[in-house]
Amino acid sequence: MEDLRSAISAFIQERDWEQFHSPKNLAMALSVEVAEIVEHFQWLTEEQSQTLPQEKLAEIREEIGDVMIYLTELANKLGLDPVEAAKSKVAINEQKYPAELARGKASKYTEYT
Amino acid sequence: MEDLRSAISAFIQERDWEQFHSPKNLAMALSVEVAEIVEHFQWLTEEQSQTLPQEKLAEIREEIGDVMIYLTELANKLGLDPVEAAKSKVAINEQKYPAELARGKASKYTEYT
Amino acid sequence: MEDLRSAISAFIQERDWEQFHSPKNLAMALSVEVAEIVEHFQWLTEEQSQTLPQEKLAEIREEIGDVMIYLTELANKLGLDPVEAAKSKVAINEQKYPAELARGKASKYTEYT
Amino acid sequence: MEDLRSAISAFIQERDWEQFHSPKNLAMALSVEVAEIVEHFQWLTEEQSQTLPQEKLAEIREEIGDVMIYLTELANKLGLDPVEAAKSKVAINEQKYPAELARGKASKYTEYT
């Protein structure tokens, strides 16, 4: 992660793009990049989405890269680390979705009662 | 990243949620979680987005965690690593957006010519 | 549409919300509301999405309403009408996706060649 | 709206695209098209978003058209009308956001208490 953060910072500074990268704008850019992942899957069946041809996989890898870049940059700007935030959130989710209640159900935790 | 991947896998297996987590569905869930980040910023000015109150920051940290969880799980399912994908994409972007052409401009690379 | 536009304008003015509703912010709000539709479908199979229980349908109707409200307001702010824009776009799509080439294929028009 | 619905139905049938257009998939496509609107605004200031050049406006009009097409088709598939859904939602929002409480505030209705 540290290497990635440095590479992103250098890339931004060399292009003088700091001025565009407010957290608000980065959140928008993040959503645009995620939509480019979704676009690859929108007309596929769930089954087809499990066995993608190599070419499509290579394209999706690039989109996942873009999402990770903006997520890292947004988090960094807010003084956060996405990997640490994810670990904390898994711990929170373990409380919100107790295994015995949640097993095999896709419902939201607010629907358990 | 390895710790995070294991924690996510254990969480999913304990709840028997594998059945819902096709790449197609994970892409959808990823987009829903990103929108929860966007929701925090939608009515803020860019300036306000730079100086968030602690409480809001804590909420956004959870959303960033959720995005990172689904991104890691989606990537993992496709045999990919989001951090590696991001590093490769920075290298690609360095070619697509040459520093001397891109400096201070927010336009898409297809608009350079 | 004219009734809807008036109702939205009155609603906004009574709450003095014009100040928040720049086209940029409305585009963000639109994306957040669409994600609330997506959230209803993310863990359903395609088949399940065809036969929703009444209660879920009522919730989705509200989300569709929200999307239509922001779409109308955004379009209005740019001097546009979403229904007219959609009619023009159907005509454009008829050129981009000739029936004989596109029949039964979900690929993007750029992939025809 | 009736004209638009007919034009969309004819367009879909001529291309035999019914098979791809489950409500789940249409929700995904809707989110992808909204992201294409967001992309136009992501690096603009709020002020710039108020005064777009003609060329950009023409592009955004096409994206608004695409969003309206998928919204209409999704609603239609669920037996709903987006304009009627929006009118009902404005009435609901009038209750949720009483003018005297909401005036000049961008907070969510759940934050009023």
**Which chains are adjacent to chain B, needing at least 3 Cβ pairs under 8 Å?**
A, C, D
Percent of chain D clearing pLDDT 90 (strictly above): 92
Task: Among A27, A31, A43, select the one facing C106 at the smallest CB separation.
Answer: A43
Name residue, tokens 């799980």: B73
Mean pLDDT in residue range D86-102: 95
What would the pLDDT profile of A50-103 be if each residue is shown by its tens digit? 999 999 999 999 999 999 999 999 999 999 999 999 999 999 999 999 999 999
Check whether D94 has a pLDDT greater than 70. Answer: yes
Q: Which residues of A29-59 are buried (b: 16+ CB within 10 A; e: fewer)?
A: bbbbbbbbbbbbbbbbebeebeebeeeeeeb
Q: What is the pLDDT of residue D43?
A: 97
Q: What is the pLDDT of residue D110?
A: 74
Mean pLDDT in residue range B67-81: 98
Q: What is the pLDDT of residue B113?
A: 53
Q: What is the pLDDT of residue B40?
A: 98
| Residue C60 near residue C52, CB atoms below 8 Å | yes
What would the pLDDT profile of D60-69 be if each residue is shown by its tens digit? 999 999 999 9
Residues of C in contact with A109 (CB under 8 A): none
Q: Return the structure tokens found at D79.
A: 């037996």
Mean pLDDT in residue range C92-105: 93
Q: What is the pLDDT of residue A113?
A: 54
| CA–CA separation, B21 and A14 (whole Å) | 39
Check whether C113 has a pLDDT greater than 60. Answer: no
Best of C20, C28, C110 to disrupt the A interface (most A CBs within 10 Å) is C28
HSE value, Cβ hemisphere, 13 Å, CA-based, for B1: 16
Q: What is the pLDDT of residue C4?
A: 98
User: In A51-106, which ranges are continuous DSSP H helix?
Assistant: 54-77, 82-96, 99-102
pLDDT band at A106 (very low <50, low <70, confident <90, very high): confident
Residue A76 Cα, gap to closest chain B Cα (Å): 11
What would the pLDDT profile of B17-45 be if each residue is shown by its tens digit? 999 999 999 999 999 999 999 999 999 99
Closest to D78 (Cα-Cα) out of B37, C44, C17: C44
Closest to A25 (Cα-Cα) out of B87, B42, B34: B42
Mean pLDDT in residue range D102-107: 88
Q: What is the pLDDT of residue D112?
A: 66
C25 near B CB under 8 A:
yes
| CA–CA separation, C14 and B105 (whole Å) | 39
Q: What is the pLDDT of residue A10?
A: 97
What would the pLDDT profile of C58-76 be if each residue is shown by its tens digit? 999 999 999 999 999 999 9
Q: Return the structure tokens found at B63.
A: 């959303």
pLDDT band at B112 (very low <50, low <70, confident <90, very high): low
Percent of chain A clearing pLDDT 70 (strictly above): 98
Q: What is the pLDDT of residue B110?
A: 74
| CA–CA separation, D1 and D85 (whole Å) | 13
HSE value, Cβ hemisphere, 13 Å, CA-based, for D26: 23
Mean pLDDT in residue range A31-45: 98
| CA–CA separation, B14 and B65 (whole Å) | 20
Residue A3 Cα, gap to closest chain C Cα (Å): 31
Residue A64 Cα, gap to closest chain D Cα (Å): 16
